[in-house]
Amino acid sequence: MPLIDRLVDAQNLLKAISHSPVTLLTGPRQVGKSTLARQTIASPAPAFYDLEDHRDLARLAEPTLALRDTGDTIVIDEAQRMPGLFPTLRVLVDEDRRPGRFVVLGSASPDLVGLGSESLAGRVTLVELGGLRLCDVGAHRLDDLWLRGGLPESFVAATDEASNRWRDDYISTFLERDLANLGFRFPATTMRRFWTMLAHYHGQTWNGARIARSIDVSETTVRRYIDALTDALVVRQLPPWFANISKRQVKSPRVYIRDSGLLHRLLGITTMLDLERSPALGASWEGMIVEQLLTRFASAHPTYWSTHAGAELDLRLEINGRVLGFEIKRTARPAVSKSMHSALADLDLDHLLLVHAGPHRFPFADRITAMSATELLTGDDPLAAL
C-alpha cells in the first residue's frame, strides 16, 4: 500500500510523547495507528507489542518484567484487548515519569481501552487519530476523499471497485469480529440492519424510538447499539448546545457515520455519479466536512444548535478563545439565511463561517464570511483574518 505522509498527526504524536510518560493513541480500526507509530517514534529500538498476536500476549504474561524501563519507548498495540495491563503501567510510571515511556494504541474510546477501569490521570496524554486529512492528500483529491473516506487502504485502492470491496469487507469484519473483541455481543445481522438504518439518519437528530420501531427492537436496545458504535469510533454523536434564550431548543444529539466512505457503502453508493444523484448528497457532504473540521481543530468542544422553530447551526467550536459557528452547504453559490442571523445573535458568536464547495472566500455581512472548504481545511491559518 502506498504510504501517505501524515505530518500533522505525526507532530501531534511527537508532541504528546515529548512531555507525557504515557500517550494513548486511539482511532477506529485500520485508520493507521500502528503505521503512524512505527514511522514517527525515533527511539533507537522501540519495543512493539501487538496484543492481537498470541506471541506478544505470552511475552506480557509477566508485564512488570517485560515492560521494564530500557530507555526506549514501548508501544502496545490493540491495548483494549488487555485492560488489566493499565494498573501495571500506572505502577511503572509512578516509579519513573520519564516522558515517552509508553505509547498505547487502541481501537476504541479511552474508557473501553482501559482508562475507565484504571485511572492514569496526570500521567497520560490522549491523541485521537481520525481518517486522512485533506491536507494529507491534497485539495485536488477532495472528491476522492469524500467518496472513498479517510481509511487509508480504502483511499489508496487502485480503483473505486477495489475501494468498495475493501470497505464491504471492513464492514463485515467489524460487525462479525471487531465489536465482539471490544466486548459487545450483538448479533451481526441485527447490527448491520441498525448501522444501515443509522446511515439513513446521518446528519439528523437522534430519534431512538423511530429507529427501534423500524428494526423491531426496544428503544433501550438501540441506545446500547449506538453507544457501542460510538465507543468503537465509527459513529459520532454531536451534542447540542443550549443557549440561555426563550426559544425551545433541541436536546438530542445529532448522529453521523464518521467515515464518509463507510456511509456510502452502507447506503449502496458506489461511484461519484451515484453520490451526486443521491438524496443523501447534502448530509454526506456536511458529515465529511464536520469530521475534517474536528480533525483539524481538535479539543474545540464541538456542539450543534437547533430550535424547534427551525433555526439551526451545523457546528459550534471554541477555537483560540473565540466562539465560531459553521454552516455547511454543498453549493458553489452560498447565501445567508435567516437561521444564520438567529444563530449569530442567540449564540453570541464571534464569527460565522458559511463553508461551501466553491473556490472563493468573501464577506457576506458583519461577522459572516463565506469560505471554500478547501481553503478552510488546507490553508496555513484560514481563520487568522476573521
Q: What is the pLDDT of residue 85?
A: 85
Indicate the helix (H) or strand (E) that contains 257: strand 254-257
Q: Of 262 and 215, which is predicted with more confidence? A: 262
Tell me what pLDDT residue 162 has.
98
CB 252 within 8 A of CB 311: no
Q: Give the side-chain half-sphere CA count within 13 A for 92.
A: 23
Distance of CA 13 to the CA centre of its chain: 16
> What single-letter DSSP state applies at residue 175?
I
**Is a pLDDT exceeding 80 seen at residue 339?**
yes
pLDDT for 295: 93
Is a pLDDT exceeding 80 seen at residue 211?
Answer: yes
Interatomic CA distance for residues 325 and 329, integer angstroms: 13
Q: Above 60 in pLDDT, residue 116? A: no
What confidence tens digit (pLDDT) does each residue in 40-69 have? 987 655 688 999 888 988 888 888 888 887
User: How many CA within 13 A on the CB side of residue 39?
Assistant: 14
Q: What pLDDT does residue 224 have?
A: 94
pLDDT of residue 114: 66
Band (pLDDT 50/70/90 cuts) for residue 310 is confident
Which residues, other chains included, contact 203 with Cβ-Cβ below 8 Å and sequence gap of 6+? Answer: 254, 255, 256, 282, 283, 284, 286, 287
Pairing of strands 102-106, 22-26: parallel
Q: How far apart are CA 32 and CA 295, in angstroms?
A: 15
Distance, in Å, from the CA atom of 191 to the CA atom of 232, rounded to the nearest integer, reads 13
Q: Which of 68-82, 111-125, 282-296 has the lowest mean pLDDT?
A: 111-125
H or E stretch at 351: strand 351-356
Provide the pLDDT confidence category of residue 159 given band limits of 50, 70 and 90. Answer: very high
**pLDDT (mean) for 155-165:** 97
pLDDT at position 278 is 96
pTM of the model: 0.94
Q: Are 121 and 136 in contact (CB under 8 A)?
A: no
Q: Per-residue pLDDT averaged across 327-348, rounded?
A: 91
Q: Is the pLDDT of residue 148 over 70?
A: yes
Across the range 241-249, mean pLDDT stands at 84
Q: 243 pLDDT band (50/70/90 cuts)?
A: confident
Rounded mean pLDDT, 140-149: 97
Mean pLDDT of the chain: 91
- Nearest to residue 131, comparing CAs of 119, 146, 118? 146
pLDDT in tens, 88-106: 888 899 888 899 999 999 9
123 close to 90: Cβ distance less than 8 angstroms: yes
Residue 85 cell numbers, joined:
495491563
Distance, in Å, from the CA atom of 182 to the CA atom of 14, rounded to the nearest integer, reads 27
Helix 208-215 to helix 188-200 angle (10° resolution) is 130
What pLDDT does residue 151 have? Answer: 98
Alpha helices (H) in 133-218, listed in sequence order: 134-137, 142-148, 152-155, 160-173, 179-181, 188-200, 208-215
For residue 45, the model assigns a pLDDT of: 58
How far from each other are the two terminal CA atoms of the chain, in whole angstroms?
40
Whether the per-residue pLDDT at 287 is higher than 80: the answer is yes
Q: Report the C-alpha gap between 145 and 157 in whole angstroms.
A: 12
* Nearest residue to 345 (alpha-carbon basis) of 383, 305, 303, 300: 305
Q: Is the pLDDT of residue 117 over 80?
A: no
Per-residue model confidence (pLDDT) at position 119 = 64
Higher pLDDT, 152 or 311: 152
3-state secondary structure of 355: strand
Mean pLDDT of 245-259: 92
Which whole number is the average pLDDT over 150-177? 97
Nearest to 315 by CA among 240, 227, 261: 240
How far apart are the C-alpha atoms of 142 and 264, rounded to whole Å?
15
At 1 the pLDDT is 67
How far is residue 384's CA from residue 386's CA, in Å, rounded to a whole number?
6
Cα 163 to its chain centre, rounded Å, is: 20
What integer is the mean pLDDT of 212-218?
A: 89
Over residues 198-223, mean pLDDT: 93
3-class DSSP assignment, residue 103: strand
Residue 46, pLDDT score: 66
Round to whole Å and give the CA distance between 200 and 204: 9
